[in-house]
Amino acid sequence: MKWIERGIYNPLKAERSIDYRSREEQIPDNDKDIKIINTIHNYFKSNPHGFEKCAAELAKLMDANIISYDLTRPWVDGGRDAIGKYRLGLRNNSIEVDFALEAKCYALNNSVGVRETSRLISRLRYRQFGIFVTTSYIHNQAYREIKEDRHPVIILSAIDIVRILKESGYNTEKSVKDWLISNFPK
């Protein structure tokens, strides 16, 4: 009424809600999708460092503006499995932003904790963002800390990986296995 009568407005203010996903929201809930994520986990189970390239390729499938990445060495990587460039803007008029990627190839019942996510967060530099990719899920406490502290980190958990693969045409266990064999030979 103040706005109508006197032109004065008082905006409504609400406490910012922190949204983080529960375990159930991060892992597949049907057998077909569970088989797809288990196919990836089983493929890299004996060589978890091999999953690092897969994680970077999954990030590229997620967003075509990821224009390049370089894998770090498999040991003493400083909390980053890959570093890359992300394009903002149009192709002929854009800027590039650096990002760091961390990958964890865990079974669905094994969560990623604060220790693992903190390693990536602590390595992010000014104007850099992170992408954390896991075949499992981020533990409640770790996810909450990322969101509450407003760390610039994108989380790709098991359900996101399945969604990315399906949107890219890999919607069966066989097609995912074929994709893995052709792109990440052992």
Q: Are 44 and 173 in contact (CB under 8 A)?
A: no
Residue pLDDT, tens place only, 11-68:
777 665 668 899 999 999 999 999 999 999 999 999 988 999 999 999 999 999 999 9
Cα of first residue to Cα of last residue in the chain, in angstroms, is 69
Tokens of 113: 């904790």
Nearest to 130 by CA among 146, 150, 154: 154
Task: Tell which CATH classification among 3.40.50.720, 3.40.50.150, 3.40.1350.10, 3.40.50.2300 matches the domain 21-183.
Answer: 3.40.1350.10
Please report, rounded to a whole number, the percentage of residues in the chain having pLDDT higher than 70: 94
Residue pLDDT, tens place only, 160-171:
999 999 999 999
Question: pTM for the whole thing?
Answer: 0.87
Every domain of the chain and the residues it spans:
21-183
Range 61-90 average pLDDT: 87
What whole-number distance in Å separates Cα of residue 59 and Cα of residue 64? Answer: 9
16, HSE (Cβ side, Cα atoms, 13 Å): 6
φ, ψ for residue 32, nearest 5 deg: -60, -45
Residue type, 99: F
Q: Are 133 and 102 in contact (CB under 8 A)?
A: yes
Band the pLDDT of 5: cuts 50, 70, 90. Answer: confident
In terms of DSSP bridges, do strands 137-138 and 153-156 run parallel, antiparallel, or are they unpaired? unpaired
